[in-house]
Amino acid sequence: MKEKWWKKSVIYQIYPKSFKDSNGDGIGDLNGIIEKIDYLADLGIDVIWLCPINVSPMMDNGYDIADYYNVDPVFGTNEDFERLIACAKERGIKILMDLVVNHCSNQHKWFQEAVKNPEGEYAGYFLIEETSGKEPNNIRCYNGTSAWERIGESNRFYFHSFSKEQPDLNWANPNVRQEIIRMMKFWQKKGIAGFRIDAIGNIKKTKEALAQTILPTDGTDGMVSVDKYVLMQDGIEAYLAELRDEVFERYDMFTVAEVSVPEGKMEEFVGEHGFFSTVFDFSYTDMDVEKSNGKEWKKRFTIREMREKIFASQNMIEKYGWGSPYLENHDQPRSVNKYIPEESIGYESKTALGALYFFLRGTPFIYQGQELGMENYPFSDISQIRDPFAVQRYEQSVKNGENPQKDMEYFRARGRDNSRTPMQWDESVYAGFSEEEPWIAVNPDYETINAKAERQNDKSVYHFYKKMIALRKQSEYSDVLTYGDFSPIESDEDALIGYYRSNGEKRVAVLVNFGEGEAAIPKQLANGKRILDNQDRWNTERLLPYQAVLIAEGE
């Protein structure tokens, strides 16, 4: 196992719009992050993944880039970003940027040129088809509408996997790939340590995706999901190898890709000479969703299923490469609401959930506010929702005569805005995020769940996360918790999830009782040394409800 700086790291994800507003416009910004850099250093994280900060009309909060070379004025300037990189560096913190290159914004000058000039160079930067008047085919984009949008009054249509404001780039065009590589090098030179790579599995399209033919439908709307025609298509490897050889590997960057990779391709993607350092695994973070009629809906699952999914994911990644365990991100609701029954949400259950994922094999990610145990927002009306994908889905339901209240119910449980509400810093108005009304409402629970209160309370989710980070990074168990092998601990207890991390010298058991009742501790662990515990009462035979312990064997 090769040692790499990023294997020992803990990564903290920042959604800039919602982290800290420094200038009273209600929107988070780079100077706000600089103000809070000591908070992050004190927590003990090593790397910040910054969601997009480039110039953008912010239709999708920055995932629609209109200028790859400049920071959006709402977030600050390129100089502010350089200052952030420098002051993070002083504290030993590195920065990852979000690389959004499957698509750009329809406000990008490439796209505007492509629209103006069908014969010009930039028309070839996008996927544009001319027809006799109808959409080229019936592919449905992720937001439920057609993946094709008409250009003005013409019979030309462009392809978009996401919203119509996010035209897909044409990766088959070598000039597009060169532009992207040039841009990546520009930011590398400014001192960033790597990239989180957005929707990268979508970059290669099949012939059918772009053909003028009606494809077999998978819904009552006569359309068919874009997935099958654009995800992980053969030939994508050549594009990814180019990025690896020209940029990632050349500069020893850390890269984490948002892409779901089948086992047969894992070696090529995350193996020793893989395209990426690691990839996100959706298998257990999306286990509460099912798709029907082209839309996602909430689904129930059991703790056993959760255990199986986590173990399968670890076993697979262990075979080929390196993992990136996470519970939350800006596309997910708050994890405590997903995995813990409403009536049991509290300090014990939140820390148990934290311990469960944090010591899995891989580089752990923490999403802003997760370390405080932030919870979902009680959305009740579409007017409170800012996520454009949700709004579009709602409108589409109204248009199709479906009941939009069902969509609202889904958004309440699963909407992306749940994790995009402002970071809760203290008990003052707007939770100390801003002095003015924020762009999205603050969760009403901020008076109890906030960084200031939790820092003052030893028994808080914050302090437990801090302890987990220190244990993983600066203890006699760092090595085994980082590089050690993963193996499941078998048990008949339905609610017990346990695993070992072991190397030649040490073996540490992570045991989490995810149930409402007590659970028997596997006998072989009765005499080990407890090196972390989220509860005060200890009994060598049984774990309390939502008790999580780390036990070092043979000491």
Residues lying near Ca ion in the complex (CB under 5 A): 21, 23, 25, 27, 29
In 3D space, the residue among 32, 15, 59, 14 whose CA is nearest the CA of residue 436 turns out to be 32
DSSP bridge partners of 54: 71
Residues of this chain, 323-362, that bind ligand GLC according to CB under 6 A: 330-331
454 binds, among Ca ion, ligand GLC, none (CB under 5 to 8 A by kind): none
- Binding track, positions 502-531, relative to ligand GLC; x by CB under 6 A: ------------------------------
User: Whole-number minimum distance, CB 261 to ligand GLC, in Å?
Assistant: 15
DSSP-derived letter for residue 42 is H
27 binds, among Ca ion, ligand GLC, none (CB under 5 to 8 A by kind): Ca ion
162 binds, among Ca ion, ligand GLC, none (CB under 5 to 8 A by kind): ligand GLC
From 198, 288, 454, 493, active-site residue: 198
**In 272-329, beta strands by DSSP E:** 278-279, 289-292, 295-298
98 binds, among Ca ion, ligand GLC, none (CB under 5 to 8 A by kind): none
Q: Minimal CB distance to ligand GLC: which residue?
A: 63
- Binding track, positions 257-286, relative to ligand GLC; x by CB under 6 A: -x----------------------------
198 vs 454, beta carbon nearer ligand GLC: 198
Put residue 232 in one of left, alpha, beta given phi > 0 → left and psi -120 to 50 → alpha. Answer: left
- 198 counts as catalytic: yes
For residue 304, report the phi and psi dihedrals to the nearest 5 degrees.
Answer: -60, -45
Put residue 99 in one of left, alpha, beta given phi > 0 → left and psi -120 to 50 → alpha. Answer: beta
Q: Minimal CB distance to Ca ion: which residue?
A: 29
- Cα separation of the two ends of the chain: 26
Q: Which of 19, 162, 275, 339 binds ligand GLC (CB under 6 A)?
A: 162
162 vs 411, beta carbon nearer ligand GLC: 162
SS3 378: coil
60 binds, among Ca ion, ligand GLC, none (CB under 5 to 8 A by kind): ligand GLC
- Binding track, positions 221-260, relative to ligand GLC; x by CB under 6 A: -------------------------------------x--
DSSP bridge partners of 511: 498, 549
332 vs 376, beta carbon nearer ligand GLC: 332
| SS (HEC) of 433-499 | CCCCCCCCCCCHHHHCCCHHHHHHCCCCHHHHHHHHHHHHHCCCCHHHHHHCEEEECCCCCCCEEEE
User: Whole-number minimum distance, CB 361 to ligand GLC, in Å?
Assistant: 24
281 binds, among Ca ion, ligand GLC, none (CB under 5 to 8 A by kind): none
Is residue 198 a contact point for ligand GLC (CB under 6 A)? yes
- For the four alpha carbons of 251, 254, 258 and 263, in that order, the dihedral sign comes to positive
User: Whole-number minimum distance, CB 17 to Ca ion, in Å?
Assistant: 9
55 vs 511, beta carbon nearer Ca ion: 55
DSSP bridge partners of 366: 12
Q: Which of 21, 46, 60, 454 binds ligand GLC (CB under 6 A)?
A: 60
Q: What count of other Cβ atoms lies within 10 Å of the Cβ of residue 38?
A: 11
List CB contacts of 323: < 8 A, sequence separation 6 or more. 278, 281, 313, 314, 317, 360, 361, 362, 363
Residue 82: enclosing H or E segment and its boundaries? helix 78-90
81 vs 546, beta carbon nearer Ca ion: 81
Residues 385 and 507: their CA atoms lie apart, in Å, by 47
Q: Which of 6, 63, 110, 187 binds ligand GLC (CB under 6 A)?
A: 63
DSSP bridge partners of 157: 129, 150
Residues 539 and 555: their CA atoms lie apart, in Å, by 18
List CB contacts of 529: < 8 A, sequence separation 6 or more. 551, 552, 555
Q: Which of 34, 95, 96, 100 binds ligand GLC (CB under 6 A)?
A: 100
Residues 217 and 388: their CA atoms lie apart, in Å, by 25
Both tokens of 192, joined, read 């960033």
21 vs 281, beta carbon nearer Ca ion: 21
80 vs 198, beta carbon nearer Ca ion: 80
165 binds, among Ca ion, ligand GLC, none (CB under 5 to 8 A by kind): none
In 3D space, the residue among 20, 46, 34 whose CA is nearest the CA of residue 450 turns out to be 20
60 vs 328, beta carbon nearer ligand GLC: 60
Residues of this chain, 395-424, that bind ligand GLC according to CB under 6 A: none
Check if the beta carbon of residue 314 is closer than 8 Å to that of residue 359: no
For residue 403, report the phi and psi dihedrals to the nearest 5 degrees.
Answer: -85, 105
Q: Residues touching ligand GLC: how many (CB under 6 A)?
A: 9
User: Whole-number minimum distance, CB 124 to ligand GLC, in Å?
Assistant: 22
Residues 322 and 242: their CA atoms lie apart, in Å, by 21
23 binds, among ligand GLC, Ca ion, none (CB under 5 to 8 A by kind): Ca ion
Residues 143 and 145: their CA atoms lie apart, in Å, by 6
User: Whole-number minimum distance, CB 329 to Ca ion, in Å?
Assistant: 22
269 vs 425, beta carbon nearer ligand GLC: 269
User: Whole-number minimum distance, CB 27 to Ca ion, in Å?
Assistant: 4
Is residue 199 a contact point for ligand GLC (CB under 6 A)? yes
Residue 510: enclosing H or E segment and its boundaries? strand 507-513
From 64, 98, 165, 258, active-site residue: 258
User: Whole-number minimum distance, CB 400 to ligand GLC, in Å?
Assistant: 22
In 3D space, the residue among 364, 502, 381 whose CA is nearest the CA of residue 441 turns out to be 381
User: Whole-number minimum distance, CB 25 to Ca ion, in Å?
Assistant: 4
Both tokens of 358, joined, read 């944090």
161 vs 188, beta carbon nearer ligand GLC: 161
Active site residues: 198, 258
Binding site for ligand GLC (CB under 6 A): 60, 63, 100, 162, 198-199, 258, 330-331
